[in-house]
Amino acid sequence: MKLIKAYDMDLNEEWSTLLQELLVASFPEVYPKDRLYFKQIPHCRILAFTSDNQLIGHVGLDYRIMNLNGNAIKVLGIIDLCVSITHRSQGIGSFLLAEVEKLSKGHIDFVLLFADQEDLYSKNGFKTVNNTCKWLKIDHETLTTIGVGIQKVEGLMVREVGTMSWSEGELDFLGYLY
């Protein structure tokens, strides 16, 4: 398996098509069928290919400053981690998470995500947290700003990768929710 770090502006038509197919197959009920992002384009992506160039895995990454209880923190957000149905339960998701951890060493305080499969993330060092979140609400269908959300959001998980410890309280995303 080979991993490629990619930016949307550099994706060719073939990779864009393969990525769209993977995302829609992985999130069939919710993923837009006409684009490669849900609400915003990730800052970069890690794509996993087989030796015969079949796209089998993806993780989008969003790097930003957030505010945790009045303190600026550097966060690498995981967006739309997925593995093709035919290649699941083979450690590819964990392999992608290990690559994210490598990228975050020395530069990031926390890796953050919203999980629908908490077991995968728990076994890879993530913990569930219960913060009140504040974020810019975006309608993913019309791509319009519809307000500011303030509430606890289920599935919020973090991994401490820097020297700071996570604390409960208020987390301001200073932007959209993944």
pTM of the entire predicted model: 0.91
In the predicted model, is pLDDT for residue 116 greater than 90?
A: no
pLDDT in tens, 88-115: 999 999 999 999 999 998 889 999 999 9
Q: Which of 38-42, 58-62, 66-70 has the lowest mean pLDDT?
A: 38-42
Mean pLDDT computed over every residue of the chain: 95
Query: Per-residue pLDDT tens for 150-163?
Result: 999 999 999 999 99
CA dihedral in degrees (10, 14, 20, 25; nearest 10)?
Answer: -140
Is 150 within 8 Å of 136 (Cβ atoms)?
Answer: no
